[in-house]
Amino acid sequence: MDRLIVAAALITVAAAVAFLLRRRRPAPPTQPRWRVPTQLDRSEFEGNGQDWLVAVFTSSACQSCERATAKAAVLASVHVAYQEIAYQDRKDLHERYGIDAVPTIVMADGEGVVRKSFVGVPSATDLWAALAEARAPGTSPEPDLGRPKS
């Protein structure tokens, strides 16, 4: 009986210590959330008459922007306009749409509603799948690719 009381006491003390140590652990550092526009004025971009726009916000100081533009440029078609917006050439658009990280890729419909977006360099497969899903919902096995974050 004495052993049972000692064991119960040790378990209680261990649980209390674990609880206190867990509470003392600092919160994780904040994670950056890059802003991505949710609406574009299509008249400010090329291909205003096309159904879709793939716009890549870049900078000449960005080493990964070249890879992003190479992957996104191949999405251009009769129905999809493609435009690279370099900060050095169109600082006004970067500021107007609050672009604070490059490369930022947005896929907007004919009304300018951003349906898909990527910050950084996505894979070519992810870009193709995201545009296909935006144009015809239900066509991609990963429909959340490029989904704008709330």
pLDDT by position in tens, the chain (length 150): 778 787 778 888 888 777 776 777 676 677 667 889 999 999 999 998 899 999 999 999 999 999 999 999 999 999 999 999 999 999 999 999 999 999 999 999 999 999 999 999 999 999 999 999 999 988 877 778 777 654
Structure tokens at 71: 């992957």
Give the global pTM.
Answer: 0.76
- On whether residue 15 sits in a domain, the answer given is no
What is the b/e burial string over 40-72, where b = at least 16 CB atoms within 10 angstroms of the residue's CB? bebebbebeebebbbbbbbbeebeebeebbebb
The rounded distance, in Å, linking the Cα atoms of 26 and 136 is 44
In a domain, 3, yes or no: no
Distance between CA atoms of 18 and 15, rounded to whole angstroms? 5
Compute the distance between CA of residue 80 and CA of residue 87 in angstroms, rounded to an integer. Answer: 22
**Domain with 119 in it:** 42-135
Q: Total domain count for the chain?
A: 1
Whether 142 is covered by a domain: the verdict is: no
**CB 121 within 8 Å of CB 71:** yes
For residue 103, whether the previous peptide bond is cis, meaning omega lies within 30 degrees of 0, is yes
In a domain, 22, yes or no: no
- The CATH number of whichever domain residue 120 belongs to comes to 3.40.30.10
Whether 91 maps to a domain, the answer reads yes
Buried residues in 111-144 as b, exposed as e (16+ CB within 10 A): ebebbbbbbebbeeebbbbbbbbbbeeeebeeee
